[in-house]
């Protein structure tokens, strides 16, 4: 008999499964804010750095982790690696940080094995085709979604023997790359099973500790057999540097996790058979763990400031400034060490950050004076896509900058083709003047010919603009509004916005925001 529902009609449904909280290790510029968020969500945060341990009145043990959260190299977001269910739970939490957060599950997660094909050899390695997945439809024409190639880079130093174009290779993802990164995922022909503090290597023997040869490392190598976890035959053990300081329970958990993944790999390789000499279709053989990526927009960074402020002193725009450059990140640390901006360590906002308007207090003029961009600088226009790709629309010269967050960027256009949606030819001597404003959900570009006559205006709807030292960054939300040179106003690409929402690349909230902004622009123009 079904359990009664809240309405008492006796017809029940299975309850939603509880998210897998698990143990999570967090690193990078978002660590304090995300530690607070994950603890509040019921996750156990482990292996915290010394500064994080000092800030939190909580038990943050040096235990093995089920998932890691690491800031990406460009500081624009985070990668989440580890046990599939925990990665899904963590990524979902992080996606909820702000309306302009976007997330993607990586089809080639760290530790996954593929049979791929070498498509190109470069100076230091080979480009390997790993297959494809469906992406956004903006480049696909009328036929629907475009196919996104999954590629990796196999350094010759990590290849088992000579590789050349057309060769079939069996590879493991050593270091996955964010979809917006300017690099490919790094591959190896070694077969690895990751388990947090422990990694098993197929075809190796013995035990070693990564990067260490001191007494603690030798002791760890010597007592591995005493941990009680079975290592599958034919696999060697490689401990991480942090393992030398971990307890026996943590080491045993890590070795057990790596062993389970190694067994899954052995089973998949037995089913797949030996690597083929020729391969028509690349394929994924097994993915014992998962990788997801979360890109944080401007509103996310300010939301994370509030969470961090509940723990420690935090200046307005803390994460926004830190995301700009290494120098800016160091400047934030210096300022917070000298000044009282409020927060848990004191000041008017030590109890709550709810009424603290970070956006209004953000010192755009001071930050850009110190770190750029300023008039005369060159910046790239980093045009993100909802499916995770990053398209650089070129570089331009900053011809004006205002303390209110405005940035005027001028580009000389190369001839050939036509301007998207405007239907006019792109000719030699054309100039594009784009006016960005920090935090605004749109920006206009006016195209003029060599005589200075307007050819039309294209208004792009996007996530809130961020003017970083070397780039203006946002994610395009597909729908746009154009004003033709005869004054006609036209709204374009609603269908692409609909497709991105249906594909799950944009949340319904973000898609509705884009439609609302486009409607307001139509009326204004």
Rounded distance, CA 91 to CA 22, Å? Answer: 13
pLDDT of residue 162: 92
Q: Do 399 and 445 share a domain, yes or no?
A: yes
pLDDT of residue 349: 44
pLDDT of residue 347: 43
Q: What are the start-end ranges of the E strands in 56-112?
A: 67-71, 77-82, 102-105
Judge whether 5 lies within some domain. no
Low-confidence ranges of the chain (pLDDT < 50): 1-13, 137-145, 346-356
CB 335 within 8 A of CB 315: yes
Q: Name the residue among 327, 392, 331 with its Cα closest to residue 363.
A: 331
* Tokens standing for residue 8: 């008492």
Q: Do 499 and 424 share a domain, yes or no?
A: yes
* Phi, psi dihedral angles at 180 (to 5 degrees): -95, 0
Q: Do 353 and 378 share a domain, yes or no?
A: no
Domain residue limits at 332: 298-362
Q: Specify the pTM.
A: 0.92
pLDDT of residue 2: 40
Q: Do 329 and 452 share a domain, yes or no?
A: no
* Phi, psi dihedral angles at 128 (to 5 degrees): -120, 125
Q: For 49-94, how does the pLDDT look when each residue is reduced to its tens digit (9 = 90+)?
A: 999 999 998 889 989 999 999 999 999 999 999 999 999 999 999 9
In the chain, DSSP finds a helix count (H) and a strand count (E) of 12, 25
Write b or e for each residue in 449-458: b if 16 or more Cβ atoms lie within 10 A of its Cβ, otherwise e: beeeeebbbb
Domain final position from 265, 293, 321: 293
pLDDT of residue 216: 72
Judge whether 237 lies within some domain. yes
DSSP string, 410-438: EEEPPSSSB-TTT--B--TT-EEEEEEET
Judge whether 302 lies within some domain. yes
Q: Do 501 and 390 share a domain, yes or no?
A: yes
Residue 155, CA distances (Å) to 127, 128, 186, 474 in order = 9, 10, 8, 32
Judge whether 8 lies within some domain. no
Rounded distance, CA 13 to CA 4, Å? Answer: 9
CATH number where 447 lies: 2.40.380.10
CB 43 within 8 A of CB 68: no
Judge whether 420 lies within some domain. yes
Q: Do 453 and 405 share a domain, yes or no?
A: yes
* Tokens standing for residue 406: 């405005």
Q: Do 446 and 491 share a domain, yes or no?
A: yes
Rounded distance, CA 480 to CA 496, Å? Answer: 10
Q: Do 304 and 227 share a domain, yes or no?
A: no
* Tokens standing for residue 332: 């934030």
Q: Do 238 and 270 share a domain, yes or no?
A: yes
* DSSP bridge partners of 237: 200, 207
* Phi, psi dihedral angles at 311 (to 5 degrees): -110, -40
pLDDT of residue 36: 98
Domain final position from 362, 379, 400: 362
* Tokens standing for residue 166: 């057309």
Rounded distance, CA 103 to CA 96, Å? Answer: 10
The residues, ordered by sequence, that sit 6+ positions from 327 with a Cβ below 8 Å of its Cβ are: 371
Judge whether 49 lies within some domain. no
Judge whether 187 lies within some domain. yes
pLDDT of residue 70: 99
Domain final position from 233, 262, 293: 293
Q: Do 288 and 302 share a domain, yes or no?
A: no
Rounded distance, CA 421 to CA 412, Å? Answer: 19
Q: Residue 394 is inside which H or E element, if any? A: strand 390-401
**Cα atoms in the Cβ-side hemisphere of radius 13 Å centred on 209:** 20
Q: Do 261 and 336 share a domain, yes or no?
A: no
Q: Is cis: bond before 443, omega within 30 of 0?
A: no
pLDDT of residue 3: 38
Judge whether 103 lies within some domain. no
Rounded distance, CA 426 to CA 13, Å? Answer: 59
Name the domain count of the chain.
Answer: 3
Terminal-residue alpha carbon distance, the chain:
61
pLDDT of residue 354: 44
Q: Do 375 and 520 share a domain, yes or no?
A: yes
Other beta carbons within 10 angstroms of residue 106's beta carbon come to 25
Phi-psi region of 42 (alpha: psi -120 to 50; beta: other; left: phi over 0): left
pLDDT of residue 57: 86
């Amino acid at each position: 008999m079904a359990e009664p529902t809240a309405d008492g009609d006796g017809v029940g449904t299975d309850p939603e499964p509880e998210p897998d909280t698990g143990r999570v290790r967090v690193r990078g510029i978002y660590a304090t804010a995300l530690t607070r968020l994950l603890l509040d969500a019921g996750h156990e945060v482990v292996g915290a750095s010394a500064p994080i341990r000092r800030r939190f009145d909580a038990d943050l043990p040096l235990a093995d982790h089920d998932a890691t959260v690491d800031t990406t190299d460009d500081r624009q977001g985070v990668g989440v690696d580890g046990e599939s269910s925990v990665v899904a739970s963590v990524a979902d939490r992080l996606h909820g940080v702000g309306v302009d957060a976007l997330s993607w599950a990586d089809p080639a997660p760290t530790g996954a094995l593929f049979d791929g094909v070498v498509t190109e050899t470069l100076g230091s390695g080979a480009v390997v085709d790993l297959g494809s997945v469906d992406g956004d439809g903006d480049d696909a024409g009328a036929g629907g979604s475009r196919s996104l190639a999954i590629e990796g880079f196999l350094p010759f130093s990590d290849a088992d023997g000579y590789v050349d174009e057309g060769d079939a290779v069996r590879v493991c993802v050593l270091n996955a790359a964010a979809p917006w990164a300017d690099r490919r995922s790094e591959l190896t022909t070694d077969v690895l099973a990751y388990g947090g503090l422990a990694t098993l290597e197929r075809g190796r023997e013995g035990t070693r500790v990564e990067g260490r040869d001191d007494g603690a490392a030798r002791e760890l190598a010597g007592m591995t057999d005493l941990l009680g976890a079975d290592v599958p035959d034919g696999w060697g053990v490689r401990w991480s540097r942090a393992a030398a300081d971990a307890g026996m329970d943590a080491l045993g958990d890590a070795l057990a996790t790596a062993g389970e993944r190694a067994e899954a790999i052995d089973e998949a390789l037995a089913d797949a058979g030996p690597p083929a000499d020729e391969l028509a279709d690349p394929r994924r053989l097994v993915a014992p763990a998962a990788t997801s990526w979360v890109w944080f927009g401007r509103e996310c960074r300010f939301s994370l400031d509030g969470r961090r402020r509940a723990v420690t002193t935090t200046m307005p725009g803390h994460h926004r400034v830190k995301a700009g450059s290494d120098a800016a990140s160091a400047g934030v640390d210096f300022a917070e060490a000298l000044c009282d901006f409020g927060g848990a360590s004191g000041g008017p906002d030590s109890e709550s950050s709810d009424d603290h308007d970070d956006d209004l207090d953000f010192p755009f003029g001071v930050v850009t004076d110190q770190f750029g961009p300023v008039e005369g600088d060159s910046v790239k226009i980093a045009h993100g896509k909802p499916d995770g790709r990053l398209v650089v629309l070129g570089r331009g010269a900053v011809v004006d900058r205002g303390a209110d967050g405005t940035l005027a960027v001028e580009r000389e256009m190369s001839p050939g083709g036509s301007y998207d949606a405007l239907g006019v030819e792109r000719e030699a001597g054309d100039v594009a003047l784009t006016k960005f404003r920090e935090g605004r959900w749109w920006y206009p570009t006016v195209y003029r010919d060599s005589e200075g006559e307007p050819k039309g205006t294209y208004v792009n709807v996007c996530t809130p603009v961020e003017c970083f030292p070397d780039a203006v960054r946002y994610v395009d939300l597909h729908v746009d509004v154009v004003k033709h040179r005869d004054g006609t106003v036209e709204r374009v690409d609603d269908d692409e916005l609909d497709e991105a929402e249906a594909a799950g690349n944009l949340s319904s909230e973000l898609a509705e925001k884009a439609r609302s902004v486009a409607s307001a622009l139509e009326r204004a123009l």
